[in-house]
Amino acid sequence: MESPAVTKFREYIRIKSVHPKPDYDSAVAFLDQYGKDIGLEVHHVEVSGGGYTNIVVIMTWKGKNPNLCSVLLHSHTDVVPVYEDQWKCDAFAAIKDENGDIYGRGTQDMKCVGIQYLEAIRRLKKEGKQFERDIHLTFMPDEEIGGICGIRPFVKTKEFADMNVGFALDEGLAHPENKYSVFYGERGLWWIRIKCEGNPGHGSRFIENTAAEKMRKIVNKMLDFREKEKLRLEANNTCLLGDVTTVNLTKLEGGLAYNIVPADLTVGFDIRIAPTINLKEFENQVATWCKEAGDGVTYSFVQKNDDQTLTPHDKSDPWWNAFSTACEEIGVELSLEVFPAGTDSKLYREAGYPAIGFSPMRNTPILLHDHNEFLNEKIFMEGIDAYCKIIPALANVPEY
């Protein structure tokens, strides 16, 4: 017989909170009723960004000492689109196969975690527990599009300030081995646009100093650097993706016709910078490459994140000590990592709040944003057990 927690998880997956038109209304209604059924205080904060508004759902379980800073359990409600023809079943049907694998967009990223929080709290409340610190749960929109109308305006609200957050948990990744991945930081995100100007003319001639010649030099420099970082990752067994810098060419723009040599061409790169990299030196390197490519080569940033804040992760930190000690009691080895992409927790760190990325999914392939995303129901239920250890440990961190 299926656990009611699994049933709720599958119900959440069936809500099509998928971009570009996420059904946030249904998600909010589902979460409102869920929180009230458990006995949590539920309220909304309206945020604005990108020319529209969204609702952030906040649930609160009051602690014994409201003067202490609170614990925040964060998740997001939105999911990325799917290629329907690449899925073996409806990505929003939450089909469960004979092995207990539940298929659906958001099973790993990250509707599982939102439900695990709630079901752990349901269990703890049934046991009559109450902890020293307030516990808040946030269900955030728009994480998958950069928090435009989600985390970015939310952290600037009075309502968030009033929550008096001391420490936050957010999403992580599955681990294919018998470990839990734990993320204490993220790589910096730079989207760079490089414009190359050159001599135009007829496509039948050998024109000197063209935009294409300059662009080739830039592309070669960038991809040579990419290859060095790739080899560095492959050569070191202890090196993880978050420890190196990735560069990918993602956009090419320019040209008027096949028989006209263009006066300018533009190339765009997605660069994820490891926190060990000196950002000023790296930008100077990009500027040097542009200068070496020739006159009329300039760069600009479409997005530039320079924050390299890392959450403390040694036993001297009371939050890390509580979290890691609880994990030791669970008996699962932790893999300490830098998150290779981006999550809402980066915005919490930037605002001065320590945050850990953690999704309790071991022995599970990493399938976020991938075809046939799934999570096994036993792994899902095990995650609830994990939070039943971790949440009390964090919520009882003594005053310091």
The binding site for Zn(2+) consists of 76, 109, 144, 171, 369
What residue ranges in the chain does DSSP mark as E strands? 41-49, 52-61, 70-76, 95-96, 101-103, 135-140, 165-170, 179-186, 188-197, 201-202, 246-254, 260-261, 264-273, 297-304, 333-339, 355-358, 374-376
User: What count of other Cβ atoms lies within 10 Å of the Cβ of residue 130?
Assistant: 12
Collapse the DSSP code of 395 into the 3-class scheme (helix H, G, I; strand E, B; otherwise coil) and give the result. helix
Cα–Cα distance measured from residue 267 to residue 253, given in angstroms and rounded to the nearest whole number: 6
CA distances from 194 to 36, 217, 270, 292, 306 (A): 52, 12, 12, 13, 19
Spell out the residues 6+ positions from residue 48 whose beta carbon is closer than 8 angstroms to its own. Answer: 54, 149, 153
SS3 labels along 358-377: ECCCCCCCCCCCCCCCEEEH
Q: Which of 119, 134, 142, 143 is catalytic?
A: 143
- Asked if 98 and 19 count as a contact pair (C-beta separation under 8 A), the reply is no
Instruction: Name the nearest CA neighbour of 114 among 160, 59, 152, 44.
Output: 59
Cα–Cα distance measured from residue 137 to residue 65, given in angstroms and rounded to the nearest whole number: 18
Q: Residue holding tokens 């709290």?
A: 121
Q: Which of 78, 119, 134, 373 is catalytic?
A: 78
399 is catalytic: no
85 is catalytic: no
Binding residues: 76, 109, 144, 171, 369
Residues marked as catalytic: 78, 143
